[in-house]
Copies of this chain bind each other. A is one copy, B any other.
Amino acid sequence: MALHEAKGATYWVIPDAYIPEKSSGGLTSHESVCVLNTSSEDAQLLFTIFFEDREPVEDIPYLVEARRTKHIRTSTLLQEGMPPPAGVPYAIEVKSQIPVIVQYSRLDATQAENALMSVMAYPVR
C-alpha cells in the first residue's frame, strides 16, 4: 500500500470566530473548522480558544484519521463539558503534530434567509 505524505502546516489561526445566538428558518447557526489530513498517519489536533477579556482555554484534543476530512462544529469543542459560548467574539488556534490543511466557515441563520462566510485559516510556519 502506498504511503501518503502529510501536507499543509502544523499551526493555523482563525482570528474571527463567533457563534450567533439566534437561529430561525430551517437551519441552525453554526461554525465549522474543516480539516483535511492527506497523510497515511492519523493527525492529533489541539485547539486553543482565545477571548477578548479572559484567559485562553488551551489544548482541547481532536483526532482526524488518516486520509480523512473532518468538518468540526465548534460547539463540539468541549472544555469541562462546555462548548465555546454563543454571542461572544473569540479566536481559534489549531495545532497538529503532522501537517494538515484548515478552513473555517460560518453559517449565520439569525434571519430565516441565511448568510455564509468562509476563509482559509492562516498558517504559521
A8: chain B residues at CB < 8 Å are: 13, 122, 124
- In the complex, A106 has a CB within 8 A of chain B: yes
* Nearest CB of chain B from residue A100's CB, rounded to whole Å: 8
Give the residue of B7, B113, B119 whose beta carbon is less than 8 angstroms from that of A111.
Answer: B113
- In the complex, A41 has a CB within 8 A of chain B: no
- In the complex, A85 has a CB within 8 A of chain B: no
Known pairs A50-B36, A52-B71, A101-B15; A113 contacts B116 (CB<8 A): no
- Cα distance A13–B99 in the bound complex, in angstroms: 13
Known pairs A111-B26, A116-B108, A116-B117; A32 contacts B16 (CB<8 A): yes
A121: chain B residues at CB < 8 Å are: 120
- In the complex, A25 has a CB within 8 A of chain B: yes
A108: chain B residues at CB < 8 Å are: 114, 116
Known pairs A111-B112, A114-B115, A120-B119; A91 contacts B34 (CB<8 A): yes
* Nearest CB of chain B from residue A23's CB, rounded to whole Å: 13
